[in-house]
Structure 1
Amino acid sequence: MAYANYFNEFDWFVKGDDDSYFIIENLRYMLHQYNPQTAMIIGHKIVDSSTKDGYMSGCGYILSKKALEKFVHQVLDGKCEPGIKGAEDLLVGKCLQEEVLFIDAHDDKYEKQIFPVNIEQNFIENLKDIDKWYVESQWAKFYHGNFSCCSEELVSLHYKKPPEMYLIDYLVYHVHAFGHVGNYNTGLPKKLTFEETLKAANEKSLSIKFVDHHIEHNFDENEIF
């Protein structure tokens, strides 16, 4: 168990499916701006009417150290409806609605960093040809049909079979375009204050399914600094 064996060794804990591919360097880059002592989960945020603040797709999400601690205590204290069956990601979301901040993973241009479906869907121009649930459940604005769909700081992809993972690894780490000089900014992102993190978590969704709820978070003094 991650909490029992590794809690004191790490600041962040990743939950990913066995068909998810993570670019670890970009994951670390994204997490650099956040404080792991603030309870938060970062991932692909899904709009859902049965939750107050949506939930994170189980394709891959990241729990801060504080979020993992709160999750374990919620379970041990019997506050997570033990024995209830259902999708793991939705149940975790319901369990932690008032305990953690849910932050949708996108860069400062609102380009997606974590994909719950095949990334190819984001390059389709006609919305009618994209899975309806995927379009309507997007928390942030849904770009599609061009490169604005997807961040240069891509963190993870979903529904990838082993041969596809080898291909992605090859393209990311082994291919070099001769004569191409990139202008990518290699500086680290600035550290966010608690107020800035709270603002990121409280972004209102543009989804037609979104219903705004007032949430009273159970912060403690160690999270707010």
Structure 2
Amino acid sequence: MQVFSSNNTQERERERERERERERERERERERERERERERERERERERERERERERGERERERERERERERERESSIVGIFLILERETSIVSIFLILVIGLKIAWPWACLIPYAMTCSKYDDFIVRDRCLAIKKSPMKTLKFHRRLYGWGRFKWKFFVTNLLKIIIITLIVTVFLAINIDTVLYIRSLVWSPPIVRHVHMQDDLQRLPMMSIAKHFYNESSLALDRTEANILYKRVKILCIVPTIQSHVDSGRVDIINSTWGRRCNKVIYLLCPTKYRPEFINTCMYEESKKFLLDKVMFALYHVYHYYINDFDWILKADDDTYVVMENLRLLLSHYRSDQPGYLGYHFRTFLMQGYNSGGAGFVISRAGLKQAMEMGFNKGLCAISGEVEDLEIGKCMEISNVPVLNSLDKYERQTFHTDDYMRHITGAYPAWLIIYTRQSTAGGAECCSQFVISFHHLDTYSIIILHHLLYRTSVYGINTPKLLPEMFHAKKVKKLRRFVVPVQY
């Protein structure tokens, strides 16, 4: 009986313990519900903030469109005022022409007369002519009083007047304007039709980019063997994400990217708020077209890719619209890694994080497994920032939190493949001071600045992209061929974590 009572007591104790556990579980569930409610409230607040930002962005875009229309109206001015608009005002041109005509008029009249005083028969008149010969206006008045207007030979008068006007205009133009306009005038004779009627000071803004883009799309006239490149194109599938803005679409930069390196992506998508829909555009009108919303756009795009394209591509490249990427060389590097293992690579910085992070401007690449792991372990758990100005650093934090390692992007000679600046800075070694502090690898200049199989350059305008593409794909050196590349061209490895990371004094 005593044993039975003891068992009942233990059973009741266990029941009370289970009840307390259930109560604690209900309390935890209520706490989680309150946390979810707070998260929903924060999300609603973020949505309201995004709505306000969209309204501000719409107002800014309207102002930008108005400024664009104003620039269009200004650019429609043609003729001599367009040529001289940089260096001289209309008033100064008018004054120069008036002074020129003031001088030219009497001399034009006197060339057939006053310069040859011997035509006068009367010696007194001839002597007086010689005496006042140096004063054209007085000589003209003297001749008019002596002979009247009827003796004028209008053919000589008009011919010489036109000659002097033309000479005055030529001298005015070549003295008042700079060397660029002189070169422009020469280009009207020697340049092809594609650059006719373009002012040298404004040619970079007014060239017909869409027409130029079509020229680069056709490679049928080139002697190229793309066998190896085509094999890698099918084996290493890359989705390219390019943040841009509507004005760059209007200026033709997006068309240039599509006709140069963008066409070598397996798929390319652009992040912007478009005025006209195109299949490759992802609408980001909820964010203002500003650098401080770049992280918002990129995270939105990565989330979009994770949901809709994660199984269609091996790697995801993010590059700016002022970046040029040699896709064949990128595929060569990525062929040394497996896309079903997490990792991301680019130009490696050593600041702020133990594993460092990759530059956003030079472009960075995330493996399929790396993106999936970052979304599931970081983004979905709220551990990754979705808003901020320093896009590449926040992406690096998200990768480190999600245990996605940084992969090596150097070639076997320890030369960089991704580059944070334009080719002139890297080749000459004229690096900005911040890069020397940030970079994980030494910043070499000259011939050792860049890998033979360079992948990217940053801070390029549209015309530098055109020139670089032409030199890479439409220019060859006879008798020099690239051999089939050996596997040891790149060393496939994870980058070791830093013992300590660098925090710049000014950031």
Question: So what's the TM-score if we normalise by structure 1?
Answer: 0.79
Q: Structure 1 121/203 Cα, relative in aligned 2: closer, same or farther at 3 Å?
A: farther
Secondary structure of residue in 1 paired with 2:355? coil
Shift of 1:28: 0.5
Higher RCO by CA contacts (8 Å cutoff, separation 6 or greater): 1
Q: Structure 1 192/148 Cα, relative in aligned 2: closer, same or farther at 3 Å?
A: closer
Max Rg structure: 2
- Tell me what 1:114 maps to: 418
**Among 375, 390, 414, the residue aligned to 1:87:** 390
Alignment partner of 1:3 is 2:301:
no
- Tell me what 1:186 maps to: 484
**Among 372, 375, 381, the residue aligned to 1:69:** 372
Aligned 8 A contact 2:327 2:455 in 1 = yes
- Tell me what 2:45 maps to: none
Taking the TM superposition and a 5 Å limit, the aligned residue runs for 1:31-180 are: 31-48=334-351, 50-59=352-361, 60-73=363-376, 74-83=378-387, 85-98=388-401, 99-124=403-428, 129-144=430-445, 146-178=446-478, 180=479
- Tell me what 1:211 maps to: 500
Shift of 1:197: 2.3
More helix by share: 2
Secondary structure of residue in 1 paired with 2:374? helix
Percent identity of equivalent pairs? 23
- Tell me what 1:202 maps to: 496
RMSD (Å), alpha carbons: 2.4
Aligned 8 A contact 1:46 1:138 in 2 = yes
Shift of 1:51: 1.3
Shift of 1:29: 0.4
Secondary structure of residue in 1 paired with 2:337? coil
Q: Structure 1 142/203 Cα, relative in aligned 2: closer, same or farther at 3 Å?
A: farther
Q: Tell me how many residue pairs correspond in the alignment.
A: 196
**Among 308, 317, 321, the residue aligned to 1:14:** 317
Q: Deviations over 1:19-42 (max 9, x none)?
A: 111111101101000011111111
Shift of 1:212: 5.9
Q: Structure 1 211/185 Cα, relative in aligned 2: closer, same or farther at 3 Å?
A: farther
Separation in 1, partners of 2:386, 2:475: 48
Separation in 2, partners of 1:151, 1:35: 22
Separation in 1, partners of 2:487, 2:323: 25
Counterpart amino acid of residue 76 in structure 1 = N
Separation in 1, partners of 2:423, 2:410: 14
Aligned 8 A contact 2:329 2:454 in 1 = yes
Separation in 1, partners of 2:447, 2:461: 23
Secondary structure of residue in 1 paired with 2:394? helix
- Tell me what 1:223 maps to: none
Secondary structure of residue in 2 paired with 1:14? strand
Shift of 1:140: 1.6
Separation in 2, partners of 1:102, 1:118: 24
Secondary structure of residue in 2 paired with 1:197? coil
| Runs (5+) with no aligned partner, structure 2 | 1-303, 503-507
